[in-house]
């Protein structure tokens, strides 16, 4: 689970993107310095098979993330992999994908493996927020909702592996969400890309 998801061939660039209206409203709210949650319609819910295309579009909004973690741009099956890939010891019902929808567009995504590497721990595999919506609190809002659900399921520790090649972006988010480095560092290899992955964790409270 500390390894990234599989990447296939690059998807054609002429795919639909999330509605531009949501991005325009984000920009307008920034200029007016209004709270975004008061300016847009926000929904948080689990993702299912009907959401694969929406998740694929979200992943393709930041191809640099995939390139830094795997050495390759997003592949056409990355969204499906994000929703179903899990360690062999984990059952299907313990793999969760949650999304935050902004004006009907999938804007943030978190995938979580419940009960891994032990029964009282959940591991976050991917946190992705659309570039236009970053630093507006949407990732934190989604993370807090996921953590509350994990707490209700009996999880007491949240675990977040961070690959060194994306640490500049990932570590500030992890720290603001209450995670701290455990000191555990592993090798990270994907094809010709070699790096390290550091394990961060925090308690899984109900807050």
Q: Which among 1, 22, 5 has a CA at the least distance from the CA of 65?
A: 5
What pTM was computed for the model? 0.81
Q: Are 190 and 201 in contact (CB under 8 A)?
A: no
CA-based Rg of the chain, rounded to a whole angstrom?
Answer: 17
pLDDT truncated to tens, each residue of the chain (207 aa)? 444 433 333 333 333 444 455 555 554 444 344 444 455 689 999 999 999 999 999 999 999 998 998 888 899 999 999 999 999 999 999 999 999 999 899 999 999 999 999 999 999 999 999 999 999 999 999 999 999 999 999 999 999 999 999 999 999 999 999 999 999 999 988 877 889 999 999 999 755
Sheet containing 42-46: order of strands: 42-46, 95-102, 105-114, 121-129, 157-163, 193-203, 180-190
If you classify domain 41-203 with CATH, what class do you get? alpha beta
* The pLDDT value given to residue 39: 56
Question: Using omega within 30 degrees of 0 as the cis cutoff, is the peptide bond preceding 117 cis?
Answer: yes
Residue 59, C-beta contacts closer than 8 angstroms, at least 6 positions apart = 65, 66, 74, 78, 79, 82, 128
The torsion of the CA quartet 12, 13, 15, 17, rounded to 10 degrees, works out to 150
* The pLDDT value given to residue 205: 78
Q: What angle do CA 52, 173, 205 make, to 5 degrees?
A: 90
Half-sphere exposure of 46 (CA within 13 A, CB side): 11
Q: What angle do CA 176, 121, 131 make, to 5 degrees?
A: 35
* The pLDDT value given to residue 116: 97
3-state secondary structure of 27: helix
């Amino acid at each position: 689970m500390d390894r990234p998801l599989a990447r296939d061939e690059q998807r054609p660039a002429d795919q639909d993107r999330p509605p531009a209206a949501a991005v325009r409203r984000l920009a307008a709210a920034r200029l007016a310095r209004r709270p975004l949650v008061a300016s847009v319609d926000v929904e948080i819910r689990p993702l299912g098979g009907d959401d694969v295309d929406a998740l694929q579009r979200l992943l393709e909004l930041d191809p640099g993330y995939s390139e830094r973690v795997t050495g390759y741009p997003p592949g056409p099956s990355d969204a499906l992999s994000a929703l179903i890939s899990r360690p062999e010891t984990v059952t299907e019902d313990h793999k969760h994908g949650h999304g935050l929808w902004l004006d009907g567009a999938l804007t943030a995504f978190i995938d979580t493996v419940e009960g891994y590497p032990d029964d009282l721990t959940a591991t976050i595999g991917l946190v992705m927020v659309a570039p236009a919506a970053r630093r507006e609190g949407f990732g934190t809002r989604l993370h807090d909702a996921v953590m509350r659900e994990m707490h209700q399921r009996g999880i007491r520790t949240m675990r977040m592996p961070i690959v060194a090649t994306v640490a500049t972006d990932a570590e500030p988010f992890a720290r603001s969400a209450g995670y701290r480095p455990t000191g555990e560092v592993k090798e990270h290899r994907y094809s010709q890309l070699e790096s390290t992955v550091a394990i961060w964790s925090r308690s899984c409270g109900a807050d």
